[in-house]
Amino acid sequence: MPEPGPGEALVRVRAAAITRDELTWPVDRLPAIPSYELSGVVVEVAPDVDEVVSGDEVFALTPFDRDGAAAEYAAVPADTLAPKPQTLTYVESAALPLAGLSAYQGLFSRGGLSEGERVRVLGPTGGVGHLAVQLAGEQQAQGDEPYDLLFDTVGGEVLAGSVASARRVVSVAEEAEGVSYFIVEPNREQLVELARRADAGQLRPAIDSMFPLEQAEAAFARVAERGKRGKVVLRVAGD
Ligand SMILES: NC(=O)c1ccc[n+]([C@@H]2O[C@H](COP(=O)([O-])OP(=O)(O)OC[C@H]3O[C@@H](n4cnc5c(N)ncnc54)[C@H](OP(=O)(O)O)[C@@H]3O)[C@@H](O)[C@H]2O)c1
């Protein structure tokens, strides 16, 4: 059982989602608990925490430099926790933080997408891409329409073949010349905005597949495959 340190809350994890390639991320602190996004219920808080209280239903992107959320309980910095979207299940809520924040930050914080501009999303059915498409809404370039921003979630030859097509190219998949690559950051305010859009019916994470925590190995095999539609989620407890 993890102990919540200063500034932390202990969360009973209900669901935790995973991301392609994430097992290659921590190389300096193995073995590590994977999954960096969760939904669940706060069961304990450190004395200095005032962001959440026991019983709060929450969701979060958890920091990458510490153990993740593929566990029954996770100690999490309380300032990363946001109220879970009311209209989404725990499984759907866990599918939103990492991919949703990646899409939000890629389009708006990094990509600077402004009103009237057009964006093209590479990998539009993947975990990050399908949420970017929903967040871009009518600003998505149609057919051969020119676009101002290219948001890449694929990398490799797909990115290389498109990199010259836009003045601004942002990627979460690969560092390359002419590309503004970034690593998604926990952001409570932006999670609140994603939850607002979800509860307003404007944003809905697609669940490609769901596995019980005991079948995490099969879940990681699935997340490495092509042809997914949305996110792969580990169901830890409950529905
Ligand atoms: N830097 C960051 O902060 C950050 C944040 C989130 C994700 N990521 C990384 O960004 C990438 C995308 O994440 P994700 O969760 O959206 O992954 P995903 O769910 O696997 O989606 C990848 C998308 O790319 C498409 N694709 C086309 N050609 C591909 C190819 N050669 N290999 C793999 N996919 C191809 C896939 O579609 P089809 O298979 O149907 O063709 C799919 O739509 C991953 O590498 C992930 O680790 C980085």
CA of 230, closest atom in ligand 1: 19
- pLDDT of 191 > 90? The answer is yes
Ligand 1 touching residue 125 (CB < 6 A): yes
| The two three-digit tokens of residue 115, written as one number | 């009103």
In angstroms, the CA 129 to CA 143 distance is: 17
CA of 224, closest atom in ligand 1: 20
Give the residue range(s) of CATH 3.90.180.10 domains in the chain: 8-96+205-235
| The two three-digit tokens of residue 17, written as one number | 């989602």
pLDDT confidence tier of residue 26, bands split at 50, 70 and 90? confident
Give the residue range(s) of CATH 3.40.50.720 domains in the chain: 99-181
pLDDT confidence tier of residue 27, bands split at 50, 70 and 90? confident
pLDDT digits (tens, 9 = 90+) for 208-225: 999 999 999 999 999 999
pTM of the model: 0.97
- CATH fold of 8-96+205-235 reads Quinone Oxidoreductase; Chain A, domain 1 (3.90.180)
- pLDDT of 38 > 80? The answer is yes
Other C-beta atoms lying within 10 Å of the C-beta of residue 50: 9
> Which residues neighbour 139 within 8 Å (Cβ) at sequence distance 6 or greater?
113, 117, 118, 119
Residue 170: which H helix or E strand, with range? strand 168-171
Buried b (16+ CB within 10 A) or exposed e, 187-217: bbebbebbbebbeeeebbbbbbebbebeebe
In angstroms, the CA 198 to CA 85 distance is: 7
**Distance (Å) of CA 129 to CA 44, 46, 94, 140:** 35, 36, 16, 12
Average pLDDT, the chain: 96
| The two three-digit tokens of residue 208, written as one number | 């490609």
- pLDDT of 235 > 70? The answer is yes
Ligand 1 touching residue 128 (CB < 6 A): yes
pLDDT confidence tier of residue 25, bands split at 50, 70 and 90? confident
Which one, of 101, 100, 99, 118, lies nearest residue 168 by Cα?
A: 118
DSSP string computed for 217-231 = HHHHHHHTSSS--SE
- Distance (angstroms) between ligand 1 centre and the Cα of 2 equals 31
- Give the mean pLDDT of 68-93: 98
- pLDDT of 14 > 90? The answer is yes
- pLDDT of 239 > 90? The answer is no
Q: Is 117 exposed, middle or buried (0-12, 13-18, 19+ CB in 10 A)?
A: middle
| The two three-digit tokens of residue 95, written as one number | 């599918």
Query: Which overall architecture, per CATH, does domain 99-181 show?
Result: 3-Layer(aba) Sandwich (3.40)
- Distance (angstroms) between ligand 1 centre and the Cα of 212 equals 23
